Amino acid sequence: MMGKKLLALLLCGALLVTVLAACGAPEEKEVSAEQDSQPVETEKEPDTGDASLDNPRNQDGIGEKELLVVSFGTSYNDSRRLTIGAIENAMEEAFPEYAVRRGFTSQIIIDHVKSRDNVAIDNVKQALDRAVENGVKTLVIQPTHLMDGLEYHELVDEVAQYSDAFEHLAIGKPLLTSEADFQAVEQAITEATAEYDDGKTAICFMGHGTEAASNAVYETLQDQLTQSGHENYYIGTVEAEPSLDTVLSAVQKGTYERVILVPLMIVAGDHANNDMAGEEADSWKSTFEAAGYQVECLLNGLGELESIQKILVEHAQDAIDSLHS
3-state SS class at 320: helix
Beta-bridge partners for 202: 259
Domain 179-301, CATH: 3.40.50.1400
d(CA 102, CA 67): 9
Catalytic residue ranges: 208
Containing 71, the helix (H) or strand (E) segment is strand 65-71
For the chain, the domains span: 2-176+306-322, 179-301
Predicted local distance difference test score (pLDDT) of residue 30: 35
pLDDT tens, position by position, for the chain (325 residues)?
Answer: 444 334 433 433 433 433 333 333 333 333 344 444 444 444 567 899 999 999 999 999 999 999 999 999 999 999 999 999 999 999 999 999 999 999 999 999 999 999 999 999 999 999 999 999 999 999 999 999 999 999 999 999 999 999 999 999 999 999 999 999 999 999 999 999 999 999 999 999 999 999 889 999 999 999 999 999 999 999 999 999 999 999 999 999 999 999 999 999 999 999 999 999 999 999 999 999 999 999 999 999 999 999 999 999 999 999 999 998 7
Query: Which of 69-86 are b and which e, b meaning 16 or more Cβ less than 10 Å from the residue's Cβ?
Result: bbbbbbbbbbbbbbbbbb
Predicted local distance difference test score (pLDDT) of residue 43: 53
Q: Which residues contact 261 (CB under 8 A, 6 or more apart)?
A: 204, 206, 276, 277, 284, 285, 288, 295, 296, 297, 298
Please name the fold of domain 2-176+306-322: Rossmann fold (3.40.50)
179-301 has the same fold as 2-176+306-322:
yes
Predicted local distance difference test score (pLDDT) of residue 45: 76
d(CA 144, CA 5): 24
pTM of the model: 0.87
Beta-bridge partners for 103: 70
d(CA 4, CA 194): 47
Predicted local distance difference test score (pLDDT) of residue 29: 36
